[in-house]
Amino acid sequence: MGYHKERGCDVYGVEADENIKRVAENYGYNVHIGVFTPGSYETDFFDYVTMDQVIEHLSDPLVSLKGVAQVTKPGGSVIISTPNSNGWGSNVFGARWISWHIPYHLQFFSKKSMSIAAEKTGFDVEKSKTITNSTYLCLQWNHMKYRPPEGLINRFWIPNQKFTRREKIYAKAMTALHLLKINHAITRFFDAAGYGDNFVFVLRKK
């Protein structure tokens, strides 16, 4: 929000976590605390709507997209980023792919299914591509190393954990891979090939 506000945009946000309230008040952000409801805004109000790593968490994404269509101007754009379960990461890492993120990720989209969802909710898919944050791959390597048996929490994601000497060496090696830009080369290669770990879809309201 700060980035777009500095660009001169009139910016609105939605955040389910009420802890964001103090941040919004501190920086003067216009944030609705709770879930998105189209009735909170005027019809055909927004030129652009962004859903950054959101749609995979929704129990009924079509209902939400219809609501987004209601508040988006005709010809306006909706930019959606979401994990790509058909990308290289899921195929290489299998059950250990970081973006399965069970039980928080409920939906996964392909180009075809997003096109169907767009058509049903009043949009056209104007553009799609894959873009993967290279730091994400660094997290993936560590996630694999510390992945526990099913049903147990992964220690890698818990603050202030004690790790063995071997685990610390592994973590340093993975950091070195990142600093040497090897993760960057891998992610850029698969993004260019269209098999990156995250989609970006640009939908245009009809």
The domain locations on the chain are 36-205
Q: Which CATH number fits domain 36-205: 3.60.21.10, 3.40.50.150, 3.40.50.880, 3.40.50.300?
A: 3.40.50.150
Cβ-based neighbour number of residue 141 at 10 Å: 18
What's the pLDDT at 184? 96
Span 157-185, pLDDT tens digits: 888 888 889 888 998 999 999 999 999 99
Percent over 90 (pLDDT), the chain: 83
DSSP string across 80-140: EEEE-TTSHHHHHHGGG-GGG-TTT------HHHHHHHHHHTTEEEEEEEE---HHHHHHH
Pairing of strands 123-130, 198-205: antiparallel
19-48: per-residue pLDDT in tens? 999 999 999 999 999 999 999 999 999 999
Across the chain, mean pLDDT equals 93
List, for the chain, all residue ranges whose pLDDT scores fall below the cut of 70.
none
